[in-house]
Amino acid sequence: MIDSYNRRINYLRISVTDLCNLRCRYCMPNKGIDKMSHSDVLTLEEIETIAKVFVELGVDKIRITGGEPLVRRGILGLIENIGNLEGVKDFAITTNAIMLKKYAKQLKDAGVNRVNISLDTLDEKKYEYITRGGQLKDTLDGIKEAQEVGLTPIKLNTVLIRGFNDDEIDDLVNLTNDGIDVRFIELMPIGEARNWAIHNFISNEYVLEKVENLEEIKRDDINSPANYYKLSGAKGKVGLINPISCKFCSNCNRVRLTSDGKLKLCLHSEEEIDLKTPIRNGEDIKTLIIDAISKKPKEHHLENGEYITRNMIAIGG
Ligand code: SAM
Ligand code: SF4
């Protein structure tokens, strides 16, 4: 599918739940989020049907996310079915890895190629703070298991947070010596945590200032939002994802499906297209999707303070 700005849209990110076993400060509000009624959540069959239509329309890259995707009951069956769709070339999952020790092998067997794991700190106490109660050891065990079963290359996603993990940049970058890719993501002002995010924002430029011997390397995927660098001799890469300090909208190839069946054409736009009702009414969603793609916005306007109200946990990062 080609949108009106000549971008090829071939990447669908599917959020399978807005529930999570952690409560990261930048992702969900302190009070938690209102539980969705069961009937508002897409069933696994509905998710699969929608994914199939997208694949028929040319999507060849799918990522399963959430909330925490591994807490959704029946997730392995869904993953297996989506992985088996003809036309899916790249199939990945984003997880906090808390349950990965248990699931890594099954995910690999079900056809997942790659896993992105969120990890903002290597310090137990800080991990507990930022996730509001999570245990670092669970995530580290999950990473180890993913490596052991060959769910590689592993990409760690680290949200850079002022006064929290800006003193750990070197330690995190050094993980690339073990063949892990580490990607620093700028903190985005999304949902109810937006004021917290604005207050704690720090530009990814800081990583380049801190780690002097990073060499920029050629990107192998022009649609990736990350600029990549390398420590000399390291097997893994350092990625910088700068949605705030540097837009990558002109190369955007993705759309998102939320767990309540809304198609989001841009992460930073309030506009959502309902796919759940039409699919439950037996309507043809193919035409609806093609029409929606033609309306994908040219770019976001975060620089003008246009921040969305839906919490990140309910979108799927
Ligand atoms: N639970 C899974 C996890 O944490 O990897 C998947 C969902 S989570 C919403 C996906 C990614 O979004 C995570 O890497 C997380 O760090 C990132 N994220 C959430 N809120 C964010 C924010 N306000 N700014 C930047 N990244 C954010
Ligand atoms: Fe859960 Fe991931 Fe959000 Fe943290 S970032 S609260 S792990 S969904």
**C-beta of 312 in contact with ligand 1 (< 6 A):** yes
Question: What pLDDT was estimated at residue 184?
Answer: 97
- Average pLDDT of the residues in 167-182: 96
**Does residue 10 surpass a pLDDT of 80?**
yes
**Does residue 114 surpass a pLDDT of 80?**
yes
Q: Whole-model pTM above 0.75?
A: yes
**Does residue 314 surpass a pLDDT of 90?**
no
**Does residue 113 surpass a pLDDT of 90?**
no
**Does residue 276 surpass a pLDDT of 70?**
yes
| Residue owning the nearest CA to atom 8 of ligand 2 | 67
What ligand has the least distance to the C-alpha of 190? 1
Ligand 1 center from residue 64 Cα (angstroms): 13
| Cβ atoms of residues 258 and 315 within 8 Å | yes
What ligand has the least distance to the C-alpha of 29? 2
Domains of the chain: 11-315 (3.20.20.70)
| Residue owning the nearest CA to atom 2 of ligand 1 | 95
Q: Where does ligand 2 bind, in terms of residues with CB under 6 Å?
A: 20, 22-24, 27-28, 66-68, 96, 118, 313
Question: What percentage of the chain exceeds 70 in pLDDT?
Answer: 99
